[in-house]
């Protein structure tokens, strides 16, 4: 049985009439960049994420970059983040001349370990970027508390986590800003690149945001990002800032607006698929507690009881990971390795002076994790084929 890692065609088949009608409206208007369709989608996202402001940009990577630009991150500054994440988390820091300072991950959730953050803070630390990896929120309470105590901005990388929740609060709504990605493979994916910066910059459920951003309100921060995304011009041709060209297309906005109506249903289906995988691994005697290690079988995802995981990816840990991936590929089962080289070991970051062994949990995850198909249209028969093939490999 063929099981792709992701089947966007199956999703499109269920909504194509709505998508075509929405695209036709944009074509008739000939208003392709920003404009009323983007403003409408920004409002929908702000309501969905329980924030006051949402600013559409060209990509999730640009969302991170613009968020850092909005708080004047630059040369000599340090930004703390995780080495086990997509490259854009760190590259957005480096592109502004600042230094990424890495902190190892929690072995169970793969998210940044809050207990290790404080020891990395210096007088140069200006921000912390926790990443809500694979669709599960990082442990935000201690991170927000650290931000408040040291007056350090918190920027949530929620690129993989739209709709995820931490103690009832939506991913991206807890820090000073949240950054979303609408890359096609995301739970809310467009038909090209797209991103969003969201912000409240106000206390949420009794937990204050990390800093006052030098007295600026959420509205002022959002407006600054709107100016920055358009080359720093306001009004047109009058440049108060040096920005970049990073505007959300109207075509992407209408596609995403249609898909947003179905997002929670799709996320619930992913959660059901994850639960089904968990049962299948137990029934086939493959599932083992993390304490026993990957050589004993398959370690399935751990979810903190206070989190609502939306499973952008379903990640297992196994011994002989590369061999298993090759075995699955031979049998037409799609998988992916996120991420095979921890960022502190990337060639471009050699000048930071990190070495192998500095972040052991990140390195273990890079060597042992494998993403299985988890998209909402995945059938139980396909899941059974995936687990059955893994069992076949384990019993060789």
pLDDT digits (tens, 9 = 90+) for 152-187: 999 999 999 999 999 999 999 999 999 999 999 999
Q: How confident is the model at residue 207 (pLDDT cuts 50, 70, 90)?
A: very low
Residues in the chain: 396
Average pLDDT, the chain: 92
Q: How confident is the model at residue 204 (pLDDT cuts 50, 70, 90)?
A: very low
How far is residue 98's CA from residue 91's CA, in Å, rounded to a whole number?
Answer: 10
Q: How does pLDDT run across 247-292, given as a tens digit for each residue? A: 999 999 999 999 999 999 999 999 999 999 999 999 988 876 655 5
Compute, in degrees rounded to 10, the torsion defined by CA atoms 67, 68, 71, 75: -170
Phi, psi of 210 (to 5 degrees): -75, -35
C-beta of residue 102 within 8 angstroms of C-beta of residue 344: yes
Phi, psi of 326 (to 5 degrees): -65, -40
Alpha carbon of 349 to those of 39, 283, 309, 356: distances in Å? 38, 44, 31, 13
C-beta of residue 69 within 8 angstroms of C-beta of residue 92: no
Around Cβ 264, how many Cβ atoms within 10 Å?
Answer: 13
Q: How does pLDDT run across 128-160, given as a tens digit for each residue? A: 999 999 999 999 999 999 999 999 999 999 999
pLDDT at 220: 84
CATH top-level class of 8-259: alpha beta
pLDDT at 245: 95
Q: How does pLDDT run across 43-69, given as a tens digit for each residue? A: 999 999 999 999 999 999 999 999 999
Q: How does pLDDT run across 313-338, given as a tens digit for each residue? A: 999 999 899 999 999 999 999 999 99
Cis-peptide, bond into residue 339, ω within 30° of zero: yes
For the whole model, what pTM was predicted? 0.93
DSSP class of 278: H
**Cα R_g (the chain), whole angstroms:** 21
How far is residue 106's CA from residue 326's CA, in Å, rounded to a whole number?
Answer: 28
pLDDT at 205: 38
Max CA separation in the chain (angstroms): 68
The position carrying tokens 């694979």 is 134
203 pLDDT more than 90: no
Give percent of the chain above pLDDT 90. 87
Task: Give the residue-averaged pLDDT of 8-32.
Answer: 94
Q: How confident is the model at residue 124 (pLDDT cuts 50, 70, 90)?
A: very high
Alpha carbon of 243 to those of 6, 230, 240, 288: distances in Å? 35, 7, 9, 50
Q: How confident is the model at residue 201 (pLDDT cuts 50, 70, 90)?
A: low
DSSP class of 371: E
119 pLDDT more than 70: yes
Report domain extents, the chain: 8-259, 263-394
CATH top-level class of 263-394: alpha beta
pLDDT at 235: 87
């Amino acid at each position: 049985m063929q099981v792709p890692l992701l089947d966007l065609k199956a999703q499109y088949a269920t909504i194509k009439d709505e998508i075509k009608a929405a695209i036709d409206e944009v074509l008739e208007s000939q208003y392709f960049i920003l404009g009323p369709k983007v403003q409408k989608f920004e409002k929908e996202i702000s309501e969905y994420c329980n924030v006051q402001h949402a600013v559409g940009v060209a990509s999730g990577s640009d969302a991170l970059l613009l968020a850092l630009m909005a708080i004047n991150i630059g040369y000599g500054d340090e930004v703390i983040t995780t080495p086990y994440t997509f490259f854009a988390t760190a590259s957005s820091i480096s592109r502004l001349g600042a230094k990424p300072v890495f902190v190892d991950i929690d072995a169970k959730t793969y998210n940044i370990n809050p207990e290790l953050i404080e020891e990395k803070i210096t007088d140069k630390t200006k921000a912390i970027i926790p990443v809500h990896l694979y669709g599960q929120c990082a442990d935000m309470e201690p991170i927000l508390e650290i931000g408040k105590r040291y007056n350090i901005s918190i920027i949530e990388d929620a690129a993989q986590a739209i709709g995820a929740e931490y103690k009832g609060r939506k991913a991206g709504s807890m820090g000073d800003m949240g950054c979303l990605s609408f890359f096609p493979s995301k739970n809310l994916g467009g038909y090209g690149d797209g991103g969003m910066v969201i912000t409240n910059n106000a206390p949420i459920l009794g937990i204050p945001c990390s800093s006052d951003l030098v007295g600026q309100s959420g509205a002022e921060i959002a407006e600054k990002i709107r100016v920055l995304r358009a080359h720093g011009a306001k009004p047109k041709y009058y440049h108060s800032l040096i920005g970049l060209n990073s505007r959300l297309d109207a075509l992407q906005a209408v596609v995403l607006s249609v898909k947003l109506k179905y997002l929670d249903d799709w996320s619930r289906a992913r959660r059901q698929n994850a639960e089904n995988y968990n049962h299948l691994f137990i029934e086939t005697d493959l599932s083992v507690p993390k304490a026993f290690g990957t050589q004993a079988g398959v370690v399935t995802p751990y979810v903190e009881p206070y989190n609502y995981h939306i499973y952008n990816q379903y990640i297992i840990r196994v011994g002989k990971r590369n061999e298993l991936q090759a075995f699955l590929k031979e049998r037409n089962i799609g998988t992916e390795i996120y991420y095979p080289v921890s960022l502190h070991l990337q060639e471009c970051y050699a000048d930071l002076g990190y070495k192998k062994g500095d972040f052991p949990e990140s390195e273990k995850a890079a060597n042992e994790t494998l993403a299985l198909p988890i998209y909402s249209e995945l059938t139980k028969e396909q899941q059974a084929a995936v687990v059955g093939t893994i069992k076949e490999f384990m019993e060789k």
